[in-house]
Each structure stands twice: as structure tokens, then as C-alpha cells.
Amino acid sequence: MKASILKFVIKRIALGLLTLFIVSLLIFAVTQAFPADPAEAMLGREATPEALAALRADFGLDKPIVVQYTNWLFGILRGDLGTSYATSISVSEYIGPRVSASFFLLLIAAVGSIPLSIVIGANAALRRDRKFDTASSLVSLILAAMPEFVVGTILTIIFSTTIWQLLPAVTYLEVGAPPWSDISGLILPVLTLLIAVTPYVSRVMRAAMIEVLESDYVEMARLKGMDERTVLWRHAMPNAVGPAFQVIALNLAYLAGGVIIVERLFNFPGIGSALADAVRSRDLPVIQFLALIIAGVYVLTNLLADIGTVLVTPRLRTRLK
Amino acid sequence: MDQQEIETSGLSRRHFIQGVSSAALAAGIFSSTSLNALAASVPGKKGGTLKVGVVGGSNDVFDANWIVAKADQARLMSTYETLMTFNEKFEAVTVNGLAESAKQNSPTKVTVKLRKGVKFHDGTPLTADDVIATFNRLLDPKQKTTGKPLRVFLDSSGLVKLDPLTVEFNLKAPNVDFLSVLASYTYAIAKAGYDGKTQIGTSAFSLVSYTPGRESVHKRFSGYWDAKNVYLDEVRIIDFSDKTALINALIAKQIDVAIDIPFEQYKTLKAKKYLNVVENSAGAWLAFCMRIDIKPFDDNNVRQALRLLVDRKQMLNRVLSGHGKIGNDLYGYIDANFNANGYQQRKQDIPAALALLKKSGYSKANPLRVELTAPDDTGGLVLMIQTLADQAKKTGGVVIIDAKVIDGGTYWSSKGQYMNTGFYTTYWSGRTYLAQVAASMDIYPETKFPPANSSFRADYLAAAGTANAKKRRAIVARMQKEEFDKGGYIIPFFNNFADAYSSKIKGVVVRPSQLNMDYYGHGFKYISLA
Amino acid sequence: MSEVKQSADQFVDERPPSLMRQGFKLRRTQIGAVLALLLMSVALVGPFLAPFGSTEYVDLPNTLNVPGTVFGTDYFGQDILSRFLFGGRTILILAFLATSIGITLGTTLGLTAAYLRGRADEVIMRALDVVLSFPQVLLSLLVISMFGPSNVLIIFTVGLSTTPRIARIIRGAAIGVVERDFISAAEALGESRRRVVFAEVLPNVTSSLLVEMNLRLTYSVGLIASLAFLGFTPEPNAANWGLMIQENRVALTEQPWGVILPAVALALMTIGTGLIGDGLSRVSAGIDRGGKGE
């Protein structure tokens, strides 16, 4: 059995890399199709033909697309991320501190959302159709309907500016200071992310738990006369861990997307706000790199979730044989 | 983006040009929202960090002679100084300037004597060489600066060093008001050898660090020539990508100053006891541009008809919630010779417009259908074109305006709608009449006015070279008549802008000025925290 | 021939009693239906009831007590109530179109993958993984910043990013079903593949489908608003609930109705469709027993 698991893992990793490679091609192709010429965007109205040509040569914009792509890809693998068109500093210098800041934000949000969605989902499944389930379902629905920036705006109004003035309205990190230097400034963005992510994922968890609880072998355990508690802990829970992995992956994935909006709303200096900014200023190297990172996170978490699910769910393991 | 972008009327891609102002600057005409001219209150306590919030991003520019948006202005003013400055009447004075004295010897000669003991942030002294190097940089067409209008009047050879502290400007064309040129805020003096990257100026605060898209930190410069008027220890200029986040930060007391507040929040902010709101009206304007050389705008009937189509009061209300003054298709509001002919305010007059259009053959059966564009990075312009399109419906289908919003990057690019199509929008900050003429004729020929057979250009040069105020007024009146009757601009209003700051702050000068916070406190001088 | 068919029918589960009829017996589905119908009526009939035009100037922007209006004016001096009444139509059409594309494509792909299994399954799902590797906002952002904001593009991107998510769910549910006996029986009898897929498998995966549908529907409205927040709007000042939320957000403290009305409409729409989906899925879960799914 071990060998087949190993084979599966390797296969999934290989597929993950392939996915990432295709994604990088797509990102590059998409950004190259941008209508505005980056050299012109940088020089603006004062662009003379010589200046344009010089800039294009500098950035390698005059080479064929395939060469540009391979240069870019190998550059990234080497650690050379290129130069940001907008700021004229290297992408790694510009993005580096932002990556760690966003990572910290996501970590805190994940630490909160994962147990929250699992607990809510599991409880709703266990107390199916009773008060908790209906209430949490309703609240989830409403919260899920609201775009993140609406949730964030309302939270700011309630806790920071209009109704109460308890919390900071934006996150202020001094340049060079670690992301945990403004914890109170992180509360509202984290809360917004939690509210944005948890409703979706707890519903998935709930559905998965219901399925587990209604599955044949759990029924069997009940029929055998085991008490509900044993059924729950011995039979249901272990098989719910698989779905839990999916839940974790979903959480991280949704968070990675939600970050773009939430960071801008709270002026958080992370990769989400940098990406939104870069898209508006056509800063291609930054866009390409950040899109790749975010996609990479997705692929990685999905990969880990898939592998984890299989490793943990006995019945799936047997299918590998 | 949203409506309030109008207040940061200098966003992403355009740049303010501080053009040559070659008119006599006599008394300007404004309504000052506050009473004091210069801060005369009790000097505040020394020390503290001032946190200034402004809308900005990775696109920010930091240069002594080039700006694009308000964040850039703030940083320029914090680091560099000009030879002269403008007072509230837009006269060139030496207060807060690097010149100890400046004299216009003749229409083609100006002598400037520098203050003694002025040091750059690295300790080196300011000399005539630095001034000459700066102006050479401005004159250099290969450098990206606001120096283009300067080249009409000055050449490198005209810059003469009389002694280490005295510079002589020998103009190649007469300009009786060259002192105002020296007061243009983007003609700030940098060290000789300035490469645009290392920011070393003469201002009260030296640059400690600058992180694009985040913040710049400025520390009090102990060697500053006017140190007695500097109170703060440190200034931080912090970028915000979202307007509402900026206001929220101010309300939550995380920053002390918010530059360019959206008028939607004007009432809310004014109601807060711990904040002061200051509104400035100094002749900034937004406009529709019609290129007089492109059909159908080459027909003056069409141009005048469109001008008569506009309900200016409604447009002011819709676009700016009333924060501004109605315009009459003439610019140069702050100029003494503004509206020299005393024209009555144009009002919406649909019948007259229709009559003009009929003369050119337009009717319901043969409507005048035009496309009108605005960039999406300047909210006021977007609202303007939507309003005009809406107002055109009053013609009952004779005039149909297709309002299109174009993304900023494309709109302002060299092949974009701006300046390359027949009907589009633009924005300007306030300047005197002749300075604006220069800018609109040569730097940004937005309407391609004047037409070939006009005396307008000759008039311009004549007015620039005339010291006689009466004569100049007569020439200007003639020029304005031509613009009023046949020009390509539709100027519905002059827009205000406003800032809000903590009431703890003292020393903020409140008076009409081109830039927010009275030129950002001329580098945050006079301002103290408590 | 008929005897053979008859015996085969023994293996086929009874066609479930009408899903809709069963579903609407539940209270929650009824409530959901009422809400959804209410909102759809507002969206469809609203424009005829609006006191002012959708872009008509009424008074100074962001003013609460304007005579002749109920809620006052919005950011551009227009009547909020009128804009609200006009604003449902476009958004519902957009959302429905986008979701339909996603569901149609996703279901087809998911069922195909589940039924064909093996190589085809792998290829299809991996291709969909690539699309899934982009958060929806990011994908929309890139595409729209490239081609400019337009309604067609929004429908396209939402549809495209919905497809893999639907496909995954469908495939997951279908895999369990596909392996069951009655499918093999139907195949043995020579029923065409397509018929097998759509007639036999599909009814058994409706529950998950319904849940997803509801989520995706409201998400597309939220996406339009979020893109506007980031600065990309197809038709600035179009009367559109998603857009209204962003346009009026800055004046929220002075004129809350401009945000509250569309936001509440959005919430009600979600609840309504969610309840319907919930009700129907309960009923179909009762019908479809033993789908192990994955």
C-alpha cells in the first residue's frame, strides 16, 4: 500500500507543477496582451522615440515573446524577479516586505477561520434542522451575500469611526517594522476576512459532515447498537477529517482572493493592495509575479488537501490499489 | 473610480505644469473661507511627528521639477524650495523663497540674489551654480520636467552667474512677469548634478526614507536657513489607495492631516469637533475640449451651441455638490483681467442652441451625434460627461452625446483620446491668464486654438512684453473676446478643494493658494502639534 | 423486447416524484420562493413604478430630505428609490446569464468526466484545475483590466470561473452514482451514453448543484460591486444594485440609503434563492439515497 500511496503523491505533485507551468504561461500571455505599451506608460507624454527605444531595450521588450517568457520564467526560478515599471525598484525589493505582511495577515485569518468553519459546520450538521443549524444557515447566507468591501465598510463604521471608536480604521505599519507591530490595526481586516470566508466554508463542512453521518458505515455502527457518542468519535469524525482538509484548502484559497479587496479597504501594505495598484498602472512584472504567487498558493493548498484527504481517508486509500 | 477623485485632480498620469505666467499679477479675486492671511497666532511647542495622509500608490513621482499627483506635490514641497513664492494675491514674493531679493531690470533681464547661509540637506551651501544647474535641467528637452514653457523665454546661454550668490536671467523673448515664473512650485532648486534619484533639497525637513506606495519620512533639518519657524521633529507622508480609508484614518485619529477630502464627507468632517476643514478656491478648472480643427467642431455654430447647452449650475451641483463657482468658458479666474469684457454669465439656452444648429443643418432628422470621452482616473470628469450627455437630451434628439469612460492609461497616452480626438475633457489648476494661454497654446494644445488667421498669438507675445497695465488689459480683452466668441473650451465651473486636519494642529495658514494646505505649509513650516 | 425492458426496469430506481412539487411543500422553500419572486418583481416591474428617471437630476447629491423623494438623492443627485427600482433588472440578467453559463458548462464537463473516467477524466479535471488556480477576483481583474470593463466580459469571467467549481461538485457526486448497478444495467441494454448520463445520473446530483447555484448567483452580483470598488465599471452610473453599493459608499455616513437599499436587496435575493435551493436539496436528498460522492 505504501508504494501506491507514494506513486499517487508523486503523480499529484507532478500534476501540480504542470498546472503551475500552464498557469504561468497563461499569466504571461494575458499580461502581454495589455493594450498600453509599458514603455510609453512609463515615459508618458514626454516620450521621444529614442527614449522609448532605449527603455524597451533596457527591459527587453523588443525581444520575441517566447524569449521574453523564458527569460521571465528562468529569472523567477533564479530569484531575479525583474524590475517594477511603476516604482523602478526591483520587484523583490518592492514586494518582499509585502509578502511577509500578507502572509502574516492570512495566517491569523486562517488560524481563526479554519476552526471556526469546522466547528460551525460540524455543529450545524449534528444539530441538523434545529435552531443552531437554521440560525447559522441564515446568518451565513446573509454574510455570504455581502461583498467583502461592504462587510469591511460596515465593520469600520460600527467599531472605528461612527458608532463606536474602539478600533483603528486602517493598518499602519511603519516601513521596516514587522507585521505584528500593529496588532490592533489588524483586527478589522482579519474580522472582515473571517466574515467573508467562514460562511461558504462552514456550509461545505456541514454538507460533508452530513454525508459522513448518513453514510453506510456510520449507519452500520448505529445499527450495531453503538451509542451516538462512540459513533461520532470512532466512526464519523475520522472520516470527516478528509473533508476537513478540503475545508482548509478552500479557506486558504478564498482568503488569498479576498485579500485583494480587504487590503485596499484597510490600506494594508500587502500583496493584495500591490496587485490592485499594479493592475491599474500596468506594472507588468509585479502583476505577473503576484498572480503567480497567488496561483501557486492555490495549487499548493489544493495539492496538500488532495494528498491529505487520501492519506487520511481509508476507503480512498484502498481505491488506489 | 468615484466622484471624489475630482479633488485629487492630478491623478495617475497627467502632470500639473507650472507654466510661465507672463501677466501682471495684480489683486486676485476670491472668496477666502477664512480671515487670516498669514499665521499670526502664538508660536506652538516644538516637537512631534505629523502624519499626513494623501491618495497615492506605486506610481508616485518624487522629483524637484516634475509631479503627477497630489502625493508628489506634497513630497516636492517637503524637500525642495523655489526662488520665489506666491502670496494670496498670486504676486511673486521672496517670503519662504530662496531669493533674498529679485529684480526685473527689464522685460528681458532679471537678477536674483540668493540668501546667505542656505544649506542643502547634506550640509553643502546653496550657490548660484545650483540655481543655474536646476534651470539647465528644466531647459533640457531630454529631461522629464515641467520646463517646456520656459524654453519660449530662456536659453542656457541666458543663465549667467554674476557672483556665488547672484544669478542673472537674460531672456530671449520679453516677459515682464518673469518673477512669477520663478515662483512656479515645480521650479524648485536642487543641487548641481541632481540625477532625479537622490533627493537633497534646502527645505526644513530632509528625506530619511521613501518607500513607493507606502510612505516617506522626513526629519527636521538642523541646518535649515529659517529654522526658527520650524516646530515639528518629523513629517510622514503616507499613501492611501482608497479615499474612504484616508478619511477613516483621519476620523480614527490615526493620521493628523488628510489632503483633498471628498466633498461627500465634507459635512461629516466639519461636524467633528476635533477636526478642522479648510476649503480653497483658487481658480482650478475642469473643461470640455473641442478641437476646432476636427469635424464637426470646426464649425463655430456647433461649438457655441454646445456651450449654450450646458446647465452650469446643475453641473456644478451634480459634479461637485456645489463646491465651486460657475464658469463662463473663460479661464484665469485669479487674474486681475479675468473677464475683462464683463460678459454676462452664460446660461442654458436650448432655443438659441437649436437655432445655431439649424443654421448648420442639424435637426431631429439629422442629429448632431458626437462622442465625448473622460479618463476613469479623474472622477469629476466622468461625472461631467455623464451630466452633459444627460443635459443634451433636452434638445429632443437634435444633439446626441455618447459619453464614454476610457481607462486612464489609454486616455492620456500619446495615442489616446486626450488631445487626439475632437471632444474630450481635461483639468487644470489655477493660473494667471497669460500663463494659461501659454500652456493651452503650446504645451497642451487641447483645442488647437487659435486658428491660423487669428491675431491671438501675436497678441499674446505683445501682452507678455507690455509693462503698461492698461495696454495689457486692452490686449487681453481682445484675446478673451475671441475665445468667448469662437474658442474651443467649455468651462462650466471652477472647482474647490478641501483638506481636513486635527484641531490639535496649530500654525496652518489659511488663504487662497494653488496647492493644498497653503503649499503644504511651504514644507510644513509654521505647523506645530499643540 | 418489452419483457427485457421490464426486467431492466427493476434495476432502475423509480423516477422520483416531481422534485419541484415535493420541494414546494416545505415551508422554507415557500418563503424562499416568495422572497425571490418579490425581488424579481421589483427588478422587472420597478422601472415602470419609478417616480424619476434613472439618471435624472433631482437635487444636490447625498441629500436626505428632498421633497418628492422617499430616500433622498445619491452621489450624483439622482433619486435613490428610482435608481433602486431600475437597478435590479441588469444585475439579475447578468447574474443569471453568468451562472447559467457556468452551470451548463460545468455540469456537462463534470458528468462527462465522471462517466468516461480514466484518461478523459484526468485531462478534463486537470484543465479545470488550471482555471481554478485563480481566485475569481484575480481572474476578472486581469481579464477586465486587459480588455476594459464590459458586461459581456463580466458574464464571461464569472461563467468561466464558476465552471470548474460546478464541474468538481458534479463529478464528485456523479462518480458514486456512475458505478452503481442500475447504470451498468442500462448500459448493457444499449441505452445511449448521453441518455444514461443525463437521465440517470443527473437527477441524483441535483442537491449539490442547487446549493452551488445559489452561491454563484449572488456571488456574481458581489463581484460586479467588487470590481467597481477596485475601479472597473462597465457602464459608470448604470442603475445597477452592485454598482450602487460602490458609488454611494463614500457618502455612507451622510446618506446611508444609497448603500442600504441595494445591499438589503442583495441579502434578500441570497436568502430567497438560498432557501429555495435548500428546500429542493432536502427533498432531492431524500430521493437520492446512497450517493457516496467523494
Cell numbers standing for residue B523: 514644507
Cell numbers standing for residue B186: 515645480
Distance in angstroms (rounded) separating the CA atoms of residues A204 and A243? 8
pLDDT at B441: 87
As a whole number, mean pLDDT of residues C200-229 equals 70
| B63, B199, B239, B254, best to mutate vs chain A, most A CBs in 10 Å | B254
Lowest mean pLDDT among B121-125, B402-406, B452-456, C123-127: C123-127
Lowest mean pLDDT among A253-262, B170-179, B487-496, C166-175: C166-175
Q: Any bridge partners for residue C150, and if so which?
A: none
Domain that holds residue A218: 101-270
Average pLDDT of chain C is 77
pLDDT at B1: 29
pLDDT at A196: 86
pLDDT at C91 over 90: no
Q: Is the separation of the CB atoms in C250 and C62 below 8 Å?
A: no
- For chain B, residues classed under CATH 3.40.190.10 are 41-281+498-529
pLDDT at B16 over 80: no
pLDDT at B364 over 50: yes
Residue A223 lies in a domain: yes
pLDDT at B210 over 60: yes
Query: Which of helix, strand or coil describes residue A134?
Result: helix
Q: Quick check: B386 and C236 CB within 8 A?
A: yes
- pLDDT grade for C28, boundaries at 50, 70 and 90: confident
- pLDDT grade for C291, boundaries at 50, 70 and 90: very low
Selected residue with higher pLDDT from B155 and C271: B155
Report B:354-413 residues touching C (Cβ under 8 A).
Answer: 376-377, 382-383, 386-387, 390, 405, 407
What percentage of residues in chain C have a pLDDT greater than 90?
Answer: 14
Please compute Rg for chain A using Cα positions.
24
Average pLDDT of chain A is 81
pLDDT at A317 over 60: no
Place of cell 507672463: B22
As a whole number, mean pLDDT of residues B235-257 equals 94
Q: What's the full length of chain B, in residues?
A: 530
The pLDDT tens digits for A118-131 are 888 888 887 777 78
Q: At residue C268, what are phi and psi to the nearest 5 degrees?
A: -65, -40
Task: Give yes or no for B411 touching A (CB within 8 A).
Answer: no
Query: Which of helix, strand or coil describes residue A213?
Result: helix
Q: At residue B428, what are phi and psi to the nearest 5 degrees?
A: -145, 150
Distance in angstroms (rounded) separating the CA atoms of residues B82 and B76? 10
pLDDT at C131 over 80: no
CA B335-B338-B340 angle, to 5 degrees, is 135
pLDDT at B258 over 90: yes
The sign of the dihedral angle between the CA atoms of A99, A100, A102, A106 is positive
Task: Give yes or no for A277 touching C (CB within 8 A).
Answer: no
From B58, B217, B251, residue closest to A277, measured CB to CB: B58
Residue A39 lies in a domain: no
Tell me how far apart the terminal alpha carbons of chain C are, to the nearest angstrom: 37
Which domain CATH number covers A127? 1.10.3720.10
- pLDDT grade for A70, boundaries at 50, 70 and 90: confident
- For chain C, helix (H) and strand (E) counts, in that order, are 12, 0
The one-letter amino acid code at C128 reads: L
Q: Any bridge partners for residue B99, and if so which?
A: B114
Selected residue with higher pLDDT from B475 and A213: B475
Place of cell 468615484: B2
The pLDDT tens digits for A137-163 are 888 878 877 888 889 999 999 999 888
pLDDT at C289 over 50: no
Number of domains in chain A: 1
Q: Quick check: A156 and B13 CB within 8 A?
A: no
Place of cell 428609490: C81
Q: What is the pTM of this model?
A: 0.84
Lowest mean pLDDT among B18-22, B325-329, B350-354, B459-463: B18-22
Fold of B282-495: Dipeptide-binding Protein; domain 3 (3.10.105)
Q: What's the full length of chain A, in residues?
A: 321
pLDDT at B304: 96
Which residues in chain A have Cβ-Cβ distances shorter than 8 Å to B272?
A: none
As a whole number, mean pLDDT of residues B15-37 equals 31
As a whole number, mean pLDDT of residues A244-264 equals 81
pLDDT at C153 over 90: no
Which residues in chain A have Cβ-Cβ distances shorter than 8 Å to B75?
A: none
Q: What distance lies between CA A310 and its chain's CA centroid?
A: 22
What percentage of residues in chain A have a pLDDT greater than 90?
Answer: 17
Residue A9 lies in a domain: no
| A273, A275, A282, A289, best to mutate vs chain B, most B CBs in 10 Å | A273
Q: At residue B46, what are phi and psi to the nearest 5 degrees?
A: -85, 155
Lowest mean pLDDT among B448-452, B458-462, C219-223: C219-223
Cell numbers standing for residue A102: 500578507
Residue A69 lies in a domain: no
Residue A21 lies in a domain: no
Please compute Rg for chain C using Cα positions.
23
Lowest mean pLDDT among A13-17, B229-233, C66-70, C243-247: A13-17
pLDDT at B316: 95
Lowest mean pLDDT among A29-33, B361-365, B455-459: A29-33
Alpha-carbon distance C193 to nearest alpha carbon in chain A (angstroms): 25
As a whole number, mean pLDDT of residues C7-16 equals 49
Q: What distance lies between CA C240 and its chain's CA centroid?
A: 17
DSSP state of A89: S
Cell numbers standing for residue A78: 533564479
Q: Is the separation of the CB atoms in B290 and C87 below 8 Å?
A: no
Residue A283 lies in a domain: no
What percentage of residues in chain B have a pLDDT greater than 90?
Answer: 69
Q: Is the separation of the CB atoms in C254 and B264 below 8 Å?
A: yes
Task: Give yes or no for C251 touching B (CB within 8 A).
Answer: yes
| A31, A140, A142, A150, best to mutate vs chain C, most C CBs in 10 Å | A150
Q: Is the separation of the CB atoms in B423 and B389 below 8 Å?
A: no
From B59, B249, B414, residue closest to A45, measured CB to CB: B414
Cell numbers standing for residue A50: 529614442
Which residues in chain C have Cβ-Cβ distances shorter than 8 Å to B314?
A: 57
The pLDDT tens digits for A3-54 are 777 888 888 888 888 888 888 888 888 777 665 566 666 665 555 677 677 7
Alpha-carbon distance B60 to nearest alpha carbon in chain A (angstroms): 8
> Residue C289: CA atoms inside 13 Å, Cβ hemisphere, count?
8
pLDDT at B343: 93
Alpha-carbon distance B266 to nearest alpha carbon in chain C (angstroms): 9
Which residues in chain B have Cβ-Cβ distances shorter than 8 Å to C250?
A: 2-4, 243-244, 262, 264-265
The pLDDT tens digits for B499-525 are 999 999 999 988 888 899 999 999 999
Nearest by Cα to B156 from B184, B182, B132: B132
B307 CB contacts (<8 Å, ≥6 apart)? Answer: B329, B346, B490
Q: Enter the ipTM.
A: 0.84
As a whole number, mean pLDDT of residues B280-285 equals 88
pLDDT at B7: 28
- pLDDT grade for C286, boundaries at 50, 70 and 90: low
As a whole number, mean pLDDT of residues B404-408 equals 83
Q: What's the full length of chain C, in residues?
A: 294
pLDDT at C211 over 90: no
Selected residue with higher pLDDT from C247 and B37: C247
pLDDT at C288 over 60: no
pLDDT at B40: 44
Which among A230-239, A289-298, B163-172 has the top mean pLDDT?
Answer: B163-172
**Closest chain B residue by Cα to residue A267:** B240
Q: Is the separation of the CB atoms in B78 and B215 below 8 Å?
A: no
Query: Which of helix, strand or coil describes residue B426?
Result: strand
The one-letter amino acid code at B481 reads: K
The one-letter amino acid code at A150 reads: V
pLDDT at B31: 29
Cell numbers standing for residue C96: 443569471
Average pLDDT of chain B is 87
pLDDT at C194: 60
Question: 3-class secondary structure for B201-266?
Answer: CCCCEEEEEEECCCEEEEEECCCCCCHHHCCCCEEEEEEECCHHHHHHHHHCCCCCEECCCCHHHH
Task: Give yes or no for A75 touching C (CB within 8 A).
Answer: no
Cell numbers standing for residue A289: 509575479
pLDDT at C51: 92
pLDDT at A61 over 80: no
Which residues in chain A have Cβ-Cβ distances shorter than 8 Å to B241?
A: 264, 267, 273, 276-277
Lowest mean pLDDT among A69-73, B315-319, C55-59, C193-197: C193-197
- pLDDT grade for A201, boundaries at 50, 70 and 90: confident
**Closest chain A residue by Cα to residue C265:** A145
As a whole number, mean pLDDT of residues B414-441 equals 88
Q: Any bridge partners for residue B528, and if so which?
A: B506
CATH number at B41-281+498-529: 3.40.190.10
pLDDT at A64: 76
Place of cell 492519506: A311
Phi-psi sector, B520: left (phi>0), alpha (psi -120 to 50), beta: left
Distance in angstroms (rounded) separating the CA atoms of residues A49 and A45? 11
Nearest by Cα to B225 from B98, B45, B77: B98
| B15, B59, B215, B274, best to mutate vs chain A, most A CBs in 10 Å | B59
Helix (H), strand (E) at residue A59: helix A49-59
Which residues in chain B have Cβ-Cβ distances shorter than 8 Å to C249?
A: 2, 244
Max intra-chain CA distance, chain B: 74
Residue A149 lies in a domain: yes
The pLDDT tens digits for B320-347 are 999 999 999 999 998 889 999 999 999 9
pLDDT at C183: 62
pLDDT at A37: 64
Q: Quick check: A36 and B410 CB within 8 A?
A: yes
As a whole number, mean pLDDT of residues B137-155 equals 86
As a whole number, mean pLDDT of residues B262-279 equals 92
Max intra-chain CA distance, chain C: 79
From B1, B265, B317, residue closest to C60, measured CB to CB: B317
pLDDT at B190 over 50: yes
DSSP state of A234: I
| Tally of CB atoms within 10 A around B341 | 12
As a whole number, mean pLDDT of residues A66-73 equals 82
pLDDT at A66 over 60: yes
